[in-house]
Chains A and B, each alone.
Chain A
Amino acid sequence: MAAVNRDNMEEVKTDDGSPKIKPRPIVRLGIFLIAHSPIFSVVFSAAGVLALLLLPLLAKNTYISENALMPGSARSMLSNQDVSDGSKLVKDIKNFRLNHEGQGVEVQKLIGKYMSDMGAEVSFQKFHPEGNQFHPLHFFSSPDSYALEENVSCASYGVNVAGIIRAPRGDGKESIVLVTPYDFINGGDYESLSLGIVSSLFSLLSRVTWLSKDIIWLVADSRYGDYRPVAAWLTEYHSPSFKVSDLLKCDELNTADNFRRAGTMAAALVVKVDGRSERFEDTLSIYAEASNGQMPNLDLINVVNYLAVHRQGFYVKVEKVVSLLSSSWLQIFGEIFEAVGKLAHTLNPDWNFGIPAADYLEGSATLASSLYSQALGIPTGPHGAFRDYQVDAITLKISPRFPPDSKTRQHDFFLRGARLLEGTIRSVNNLLEKFHQSFFLYLLTSPSKFISVGVYMIAFALLVAPLPMVAASLYIDGCKALTNSTHNPAENLKSWKWLDAAKQVFALHLLGFIVTLLPYFICQVPGQHSPRNRSIMWGTTSSSLLLITFVTIPGFSPFSSRLHGTNWAVLKSVTIAAAFIGLCLMSIINFATAEIGALLLVPTCLMAQPIKPALRSRRVKSLLGAFCSLVLVTIGFPVMFFALSKGLLGEGLVGLSLGGEFWTWLESLWAWKSATYLYIGMVHLPCWLLCLCILFHPS
């Protein structure tokens, strides 16, 4: 069709007998691409997907970019005395909790006493576990812009303990933070091990002379989750409210004016111990993703990984999608790549890009997890709270290979854990400047391999490249169809025919915006509602709004039989243009979301065609096309995709409660201020609706 169109264009130009004006090469290239857009869109999209699959092959080994870090160059100074201090604390806490059942802040006081015995300045902080309230204005706002002013009850609050070691000769401008989340009420034996590790380290740090930055050890009260206490402490650290707080009166523990600070934070490490390692070695999992796919500087991960692997002998891993490890299609891809790599190697021994299929599988599973957690925009641990203040932070989850009550192994475990932290702190302590040398935009395929932004954006660029081409070609088509009667070629491109379509697209985007904001009002509805009811409320309001739009604005409904409604080709062209802009904008805010969104949205938008003519024509090709677009549109519905991905992730397909689960999922998104929620509401949903309109277009 486009080829025909091109012929027509040439005819138009040569109508008056003049020879064709040779446009500039770039224009010619553009015209060429637009003219052959169907082929190119297929080629580019396929290349985009292929580039995504190739990413594990293109991953580079990590390296320490900042020379000042010098990880592992100093001998560890941790002694057995320090470790036995840590063990004593763990034992004391255990005994104390056995003897004293129930509430109170006695355990906190015990830890505080330990800290001050080591020579640290101790402060306690009370916080209130805040509910996840959706407020549309909180997106992209800095974390200090809202303060809790509502009356707080004394029924539930947590108490953090923080100890600060002042660097003996330091100037106190910078600090390094160690966080150990610990549930003071029902924390398990494994959890208290993290206290032991950090306490051993703290004992050492209180007497070393090489510190140039202050050390803060925060024992976060994790009975209301890991994230909240850390976030509350950081809020108090960075933007305290000097007004009187009701929370202070709740307890005999007076925390007023007690809060202590130690300068700008250079880095933060969250240490957790949980579960038993399935492997022979102790396992160290690194979690780095903060809200909206922000990552800490790669150097921080490198230092930890280097020290853990080469000095302390931990097995280091990052999160991966386990179900992908057993997927056969990925296995086939891996084997193909391996074969190609081997072939290339035989041709030229220097070509070493091939990796074994097993490595490829591991890499892609890790990559998928990395992409997924970044796309979701939800931090994977308490370290996420630090990112809001531009502090590089990671969570280290250590799983020992012994049961928690094994005393003999515990000593060795503390020694190695504390030495790992000591090395990391020593490296960060060496830093004169804050982390800036290495990458901030990257995806991990293993703890020691990464893909930088320059490589992974190729896949996205290829994926979205067809959109402007197809939009242009469709627009030319549509305009021609509309101006068939006039036969005025000059007005062909200058016509304002796209305005109708643009109005429709704009209206649906506006609708998407309103639907995005609706949960705020639904949350305001008095009374307790289950997530399921709320999702039903949301669904009904949204669909009724959609119906109202269709009914009130003429020429909008895909079901109306008015002939002078917008041409579907022009509508599709504008839709695709809107999707393109939306995706590009999103790629700046959160690249991973845009990547996954493009995987969904690009085929849907490209394939969308009215099914009526296809049904009428009864040709196999057009029927197949209609079927494909139907399937894609079905999958493209956010709820459907959510259900599918849940099924894919191995959590089992859910039935009626799907709406409820979807609501909870969205609730978590907005609670974490994830831009993914905005993307779904303001880019994906309108584009999906527009595709639906095109699908049922009466032409």
Chain B
Amino acid sequence: MASLLRSLFLLLIVQSFLVAIAFGSNEVEEFSEALLLKPLPDRKVLAHFHFENRAPPSNSHGRHHHLFPKAISQLVQKFRVKEMELSFTQGRWNHEHWGGFDPLSSMNAKPVGVELWAVFDVPLSQVDTSWKNLTHALSGLFCASINFLESSTSYAAPTWGFGPNSDKLRYGSLPREAVCTENLTPWLKLLPCRDKDGISALMNRPSVYRGFYHSQRLHLSTVESGQEGLGSGIVLEQTLTVVLQPETTSVESNMQPSWSLNSLFGRKVVGRCVLAKSSNVYLQLEGLLGHELKNMDTKIEAHNLWKNADFELSLKPDRVLRESSSFLFVFDIDKSSDSEPFDLGLTWKLPSKWSCQQAPLHASRFLMGSGNERGAIAILLKATESQEKLSGRDLTNGQCTIKANIFQIFPWYIKVYYHTLQIFVDQQQKTDSEVLKKINVSPSTDKVSSGMMEMMLELPCEVKSVAISIEYDKGFLHIDEYPPDANQGFDIPSALISFPNHHASLDFQEELNKSPLLSSFKEKSLVRSYTEVLLVPLTTPDFSMPYNVITITCTIFALYFGSLLNVLRRRIGEEERFLKSQGKKTGGLKQLLSRITAKIRGRPIEEQSSSESPAAQSSVLSSKLIFKIILVAGAAAAWQYFSTDK
């Protein structure tokens, strides 16, 4: 008995030890929050909130999560999502002033409206079904009309033009989706502290939505554990990028505005989210500023950077990290409390000017032509000033080349003629084979699927401008296919320009602690930029005139049925013959004869009177008719008069 008890006890210990091992081998769920602030050259401030939530691989389904949002893990399990990104954006990213060649812009500069892409881990035949279900689930989760992406006319399956190379990738965007707090609230619900505590407490809705650019992003990816029997872990990355304009008090126009967290958001950080593993605030200062201060290379001086002749920070940074062209001040917000809230401020003392790193080519897109019949889409790529400095050139064959991928979805009512593709490099028309390295086209089918174009351009490094134009015909929609406010026109989603040989990353010289934000910056990310959304005016029926339509239809019906009945019922030949036979009866003898024949045939004799009566009637009728017409006209005039004047 004792031995039994002992063995049982041992078993228990072993079991608990095993459980402990199981928990120990799995990392625990981690949540970290970070805020990056960055003054922009055009006197604005960028604030980038970054929240990362990691769920480690686990071997049981439906297990309880400590921090990780259940809704997301269910989503991943149900639809077998391998990777997914959803973004809600309002406003346009200014590539010239806010940068185009850093991880921040290449990941967070998103097209207007909603963009969703997802890679699934299901057999190829089930990808579309999974996508449709996913859109519906997300639509409910985020209070947005993402379910419109369900229709096959609104999404596409990019092969290599969009980034991740997979045939299980689906991509769709809704340019007209309005983004507001109702989308932010469910997004915040996924955070363990919501917006009650920690950095997310800064998200004061009026100040967030007052910004010039606002993009909330949700990126999730599954991490394969590699172990047998274990499920996959999920990494959920939530970012909110806002560009704000600080209130300026200085009259000097070239002076950068000074700001503090309180002046930007109207709130202060009181403390960290207690569930977060790390919560940091970063301030990135880049450009000219960094170059000036490069000479001071000793560490001590770098630490004294926060108070110098150019600017002054209100708090002493805990660390200063240096990158090739910028400085990163790191603040821990652990120390802040109710009595001493964390309110970082930046005060400029001298006017300063710098510029952001830009993508090798600046892309813009516009419509050409006029009228409701046809037009053309043009994509213009212009070399930026910073192009010479850039790495990532392909020096094969002794020639310096830039590669650029263009990915574009066309709705089906934009009937693109791919043979009209024209490419002009430095205002010289080039044949397709000269610059076009790869092209993949999937034409649209009317009312069934949207068209897609992916192409890879290989351009010489010294290129100044590239223009690509492609012609299209405008389609006709069925009357019930028009959206509300049809007269606004129809949107063509943004095109994506990416540079496969250019990767943006920030490599800090100092060794990093494991901050998820910084490690995501350190990863090489593809340089990409979205073009503007285009508005195509299509022919629109006059919806505001149902009355006219009803009137015309009724008239046509009346005319049609009237004449059809006449044709069917009246026998004109018979009538004529009958009238002629009546005419022949004028003579007395003839009349008598006809009467006799009629008697022989057994037809009634009243026929004559009846034959005369229509004529007599018609003369009466005509006067009656005229009288009636006058009556109706009078009534109509009276009605018109009384209805308009009263």
Binding site for B on A (CB under 8 A): 16-19, 21-22, 25, 117, 142-144, 166, 168-174, 209, 238-240, 242-245, 256-257, 261, 263-264, 350, 388-390, 432-434, 436-437
- Kindly state whether residue B420 has any CB partner on chain A within 8 Å: no
- Kindly state whether residue B157 has any CB partner on chain A within 8 Å: no
Stretch at the interface among B303-311, B347-355, B397-405, B575-583: B575-583
B550-584 vs A, CB cutoff 8 Å, 1 = contact: the mask equals: 00000000000000000000000001100110111
Shortest beta-carbon distance from A352 to chain B in Å = 8
- What are 12 A-B residue pairs whose CB atoms fall within 8 Å in the complex? A144-B368, A169-B90, A169-B214, A173-B532, A240-B368, A242-B467, A244-B427, A257-B380, A261-B364, A263-B366, A264-B535, A434-B487
The contact of B579 among A18, A117, A256, by CB within 8 Å, is: A18
CB-CB contacts below 8 Å: B369-401 with A: 369-372, 378, 380, 382
**In the complex, the 4 A-B pairs of residues with the closest C-beta atoms, listed nearest first:** A18-B583, A433-B487, A242-B424, A244-B427
B113-141 vs A, CB cutoff 8 Å, 1 = contact: the mask equals: 10000000000000000000000000000
- B583 near A17: Cβ-Cβ < 8 Å: yes
The contact of A25 among B429, B464, B532, B625, by CB within 8 Å, is: B625
Other CB < 8 Å A-B pairs besides A16-B583, A17-B586, 12 of them? A16-B580, A143-B370, A168-B91, A169-B90, A169-B211, A170-B91, A173-B533, A239-B370, A244-B427, A257-B382, A263-B532, A434-B488
B614: chain A residues at CB < 8 Å are: 22
CB-CB contacts below 8 Å: B433-455 with A: none
- Kindly state whether residue B645 has any CB partner on chain A within 8 Å: yes
B453-481 vs A, CB cutoff 8 Å, 1 = contact: the mask equals: 00000000000110101000000000000
CB-CB contacts below 8 Å: B8-64 with A: none
- Kindly state whether residue B150 has any CB partner on chain A within 8 Å: no
- Kindly state whether residue B521 has any CB partner on chain A within 8 Å: no
Closest to A244 in B: B427
- B579 near A434: Cβ-Cβ < 8 Å: no
CB-CB contacts below 8 Å: B213-256 with A: 214, 253
- B424 near A350: Cβ-Cβ < 8 Å: no
Shortest beta-carbon distance from A265 to chain B in Å = 10
The contact of A264 among B112, B429, B489, by CB within 8 Å, is: B489
- Kindly state whether residue B335 has any CB partner on chain A within 8 Å: no
Shortest beta-carbon distance from A63 to chain B in Å = 15
The contact of A172 among B367, B486, B533, by CB within 8 Å, is: B533
- B112 near A171: Cβ-Cβ < 8 Å: yes
- B369 near A238: Cβ-Cβ < 8 Å: yes
- Kindly state whether residue B285 has any CB partner on chain A within 8 Å: no
- A171 near B92: Cβ-Cβ < 8 Å: yes
Majority SS at the chain A contact face: loop
- Kindly state whether residue B338 has any CB partner on chain A within 8 Å: no
A142-B371, A243-B427 known; A18 vs B580 contact (CB < 8 Å): yes
- A437 near B544: Cβ-Cβ < 8 Å: yes
- B489 near A169: Cβ-Cβ < 8 Å: no
Closest to A239 in B: B368
Cα–Cα, bound, A419→B382 (Å): 38
B335-371 vs A, CB cutoff 8 Å, 1 = contact: the mask equals: 0000000000000000000000000000010111111
Cα–Cα, bound, A243→B428 (Å): 6
- A21 near B488: Cβ-Cβ < 8 Å: no
- B487 near A436: Cβ-Cβ < 8 Å: yes
- A432 near B488: Cβ-Cβ < 8 Å: yes
Shortest beta-carbon distance from A203 to chain B in Å = 13
Shortest beta-carbon distance from A624 to chain B in Å = 36
B489: chain A residues at CB < 8 Å are: 173, 264, 434
- B175 near A171: Cβ-Cβ < 8 Å: yes
Cα–Cα, bound, A678→B540 (Å): 30
Closest to B92 in A: A172
Most A C-beta atoms less than 10 A away, residue of B372, B489, B576, B586: B489
Closest to A243 in B: B427
Shortest beta-carbon distance from B224 to chain A in Å = 39
Shortest beta-carbon distance from A97 to chain B in Å = 26
Closest to B210 in A: A209
A144: chain B residues at CB < 8 Å are: 368-370
A390: chain B residues at CB < 8 Å are: 370-372, 537
B301-343 vs A, CB cutoff 8 Å, 1 = contact: the mask equals: 0000000000000000000000000000000000000000000
Most A C-beta atoms less than 10 A away, residue of B366, B429, B486, B584: B366
- B618 near A22: Cβ-Cβ < 8 Å: yes
- B465 near A257: Cβ-Cβ < 8 Å: yes
A170: chain B residues at CB < 8 Å are: 91-92
A168: chain B residues at CB < 8 Å are: 91, 212
- A166 near B92: Cβ-Cβ < 8 Å: yes
Cα–Cα, bound, A16→B92 (Å): 88
Closest to B90 in A: A169
Tell me the number of A-to-B contacts counted with CB atoms below 8 Å: 124
Majority SS at the chain B contact face: mixed
- Kindly state whether residue B534 has any CB partner on chain A within 8 Å: yes
- A242 near B469: Cβ-Cβ < 8 Å: yes
A144-B368, A144-B370 known; A21 vs B576 contact (CB < 8 Å): yes
- Kindly state whether residue B485 has any CB partner on chain A within 8 Å: yes
A240: chain B residues at CB < 8 Å are: 368, 378
B536: chain A residues at CB < 8 Å are: 264
- B488 near A244: Cβ-Cβ < 8 Å: no
Cα–Cα, bound, A19→B579 (Å): 7
The contact of A19 among B90, B112, B210, B615, by CB within 8 Å, is: B615
Cα–Cα, bound, A261→B467 (Å): 14
Shortest beta-carbon distance from B536 to chain A in Å = 8
- B540 near A436: Cβ-Cβ < 8 Å: yes
B586: chain A residues at CB < 8 Å are: 17
B428: chain A residues at CB < 8 Å are: 243-244
- Kindly state whether residue B491 has any CB partner on chain A within 8 Å: yes
Shortest beta-carbon distance from B162 to chain A in Å = 21
- B625 near A19: Cβ-Cβ < 8 Å: no
Cα–Cα, bound, A199→B479 (Å): 44
B369: chain A residues at CB < 8 Å are: 142, 144, 238-239
A169-B90, A172-B92, A433-B488 known; A19 vs B583 contact (CB < 8 Å): yes
A142: chain B residues at CB < 8 Å are: 369-371
A350: chain B residues at CB < 8 Å are: 645
B367: chain A residues at CB < 8 Å are: 238, 264
Closest to A65 in B: B544
Cα–Cα, bound, A662→B282 (Å): 77
Cα–Cα, bound, A172→B534 (Å): 8
- A21 near B579: Cβ-Cβ < 8 Å: yes
- B427 near A433: Cβ-Cβ < 8 Å: no
Closest to B209 in A: A169
Shortest beta-carbon distance from A254 to chain B in Å = 11
B91: chain A residues at CB < 8 Å are: 168-171
- A169 near B427: Cβ-Cβ < 8 Å: no
A143: chain B residues at CB < 8 Å are: 370
B214: chain A residues at CB < 8 Å are: 169
- B615 near A22: Cβ-Cβ < 8 Å: yes
A434: chain B residues at CB < 8 Å are: 487-489, 537
The contact of B212 among A17, A169, A172, A389, by CB within 8 Å, is: A169
A22: chain B residues at CB < 8 Å are: 614-615, 618
Most B C-beta atoms less than 10 A away, residue of A117, A263, A389: A263
Cα–Cα, bound, A592→B91 (Å): 46
- A172 near B532: Cβ-Cβ < 8 Å: yes
Cα–Cα, bound, A25→B92 (Å): 68
A16: chain B residues at CB < 8 Å are: 580, 583
Shortest beta-carbon distance from B375 to chain A in Å = 9
Cα–Cα, bound, A142→B366 (Å): 18
The contact of A261 among B366, B424, B429, B575, by CB within 8 Å, is: B366
Shortest beta-carbon distance from A116 to chain B in Å = 12
Cα–Cα, bound, A173→B111 (Å): 12
B94: chain A residues at CB < 8 Å are: 166
The contact of B424 among A243, A264, A432, by CB within 8 Å, is: A243
A19-B579, A171-B533, A264-B537 known; A243 vs B371 contact (CB < 8 Å): no
Shortest beta-carbon distance from B487 to chain A in Å = 4
B467: chain A residues at CB < 8 Å are: 242
Shortest beta-carbon distance from A331 to chain B in Å = 29
